[in-house]
Structure 1
Amino acid sequence: MKDRKRVLITGAAGFLGSHLCDRFIREDYHVIAMDNLITGRLKNIEHLFRLENFEFYHHDVSKFIHVPGRLDYILHFASPASPIDYLKIPIQTLKVGSLGTHNCLGLAKAKGARILVASTSEVYGDPAVHPQTEDYWGNVNPIGPRGVYDEAKRFQEAMTMAYHTFHGLETRIVRIFNTYGPRMRLNDGRVLPAFIGQALRGEDLTIFGDGSQTRSFCYVDDLIEGIYRLLLSDYHLPVNIGNPDEITILDFAREIIKLTDSDQKLIMKELPVNDPKQRQPDITKAKELLGWEPKVPRSEGLKRTYAYFKSLSREELYETEHKDFENFIVR
């Protein structure tokens, strides 16, 4: 049997985790996928189960992690990432960012593996600096409704850096900005799948606030390429990976209506508490250190994403929340 490099990917059945599994399989790694399936879905990775260089562990990383054999790399992507998820399971969100990260870092130390942790643009909160650079410390309300996610990620970064400085662990930190593409859950509360889902169901599109707030959307293939390059780089401080092509939510809603060839109206609702008004990455570091910048224009990425959502069954189209939540006990 070929002696492939071995990589552990947590949150592997989720949107980004599953695309990472695909990428490392294509690069001929032995991929060990781990997910507790609270927000992840096996259908995202079921096409990999037949491969001899892929294995799956149904496990919660907030509990002790045991993986037999050598590990070369760990990518820690386990975490609820959408407002619907982390507002419904706030304790688990905090635990996976703290206990889960601690367990992954401990495993990396024990195995002598390099670890990349998935942080987020949400560490910048509702930013007072625009666009957001990696040296900006953020504007986060730790006790607001979004604090369970924002502070979990900020703590995750702090613990990762502590392992790097105290134990000499090889660490990488990626700050991920808004990303979209196939395998997103249609009703996870994020703006793009929410708009497309409403359009496909013939519903009016819901805009929170006056629509002047901005987002910058990166297609998933571009994001995965940036993450892959960062993992293999020699840079240990946080790096923004995202698309700096900024657009207002109002203009984005109009793009979705045009894309879906629908005639839905726009319904305005009150802006959620602490919702960021602006979101745009400064990707200077990614360009200089990784030679990376996004390649897929939003028009093309949206076409691919819309084609994926159109292929969903009626049951998936009208699903309002992840079925596994029904049996999840909050502790």
Structure 2
Amino acid sequence: MNEAMRQGAEWARVGHQVPISINVGAKALASSHLETVIVQAVAEHGVPASRLTIEVTETDVMTDPVQSSRTLARIKELGVRVAVDDFGTGYSSLGYLNELPLNEVKIDRSFISRLLREPQTSSIVRAAVDLSHALGLDAVAEGVEDAATLERLTLLGCDRAQGYFIARPMPADAVLPWLQRFVPTPTVVSGPVVAIPTSPEESLVPTGTAREVKVVTVLVVDDEPSLRVATHRILAAQGHNVLHAATASEALRICGEQRGTIDLVVTDIFLTDWRGHELAGRLREMQPNLKFLFVSGDPKGRDLVNNAPFLAKPFSKQQLLDHVGAVLAA
């Protein structure tokens, strides 16, 4: 832990804010000292906790699921991300994925290596990605060794990938030259000094500017429970105040109760009672400046909303965040 954080601090000093992932076994999960070790390492090396990811395997977690869940919950409160590693090789179940305080699921390389050869494996990987997103988690593919596999994973909506195609394991002293070759550092420009964000999600705000940060309120309207919950979790994790409705009628009621406080509506186009663009027309009568992002898994949906912001299902977490950010900034 200390060596990884020390090395991360060294890379940060030359402009590379590199996320750090550390594998933790069953013994560490059962210990009450993991939280203390992390706090001390963060303080000693000045690396934000948000840049650290703790990776655990399904098998190690299930050695003592109650204690593991408590330990992971405590370190997550520090701002540390939590990932389940080698997903699909151990005690996979919807129950434990939903109950553990996770941020991401890492799909085991045994599935990724067969992705292009076996249709059944491709279906399993798609299901794992969709399940992760339904629970509001990132999906990460392990063992990506060629461009074709990376392209297929992108089409499946996978959020991130690791493997030999990206970089092979290397000693610490070889990492910086690799970063300097492949990862550009931020450009320094003259003008207002900005605060360096401690995570990719944070905005760059001039340090000399004091302003109140407005919490954005988003209404998610979707009759598919899993997608509605996943969208809710993803946006709430970004600090948004998220409301949700399963029908257009429910959305109308919520907007009436909120009295103009909603900033953005993310709505499916083909709802059970109305079409999403019909709902938008009614809501704009109540709140003319309301913004909309339409989503649909039906290609015909795009035609119904003309040039309005549209996101095709299935979408990745990053695609959702990018589209929401663009609509709010417009």
TM-score, L = length of structure 1: 0.28
Give the greater-gyration-radius structure (CA). Answer: 2
TM-score using structure 2 length = 0.28
Q: Which structure's residues are more often helix, by fraction?
A: 2
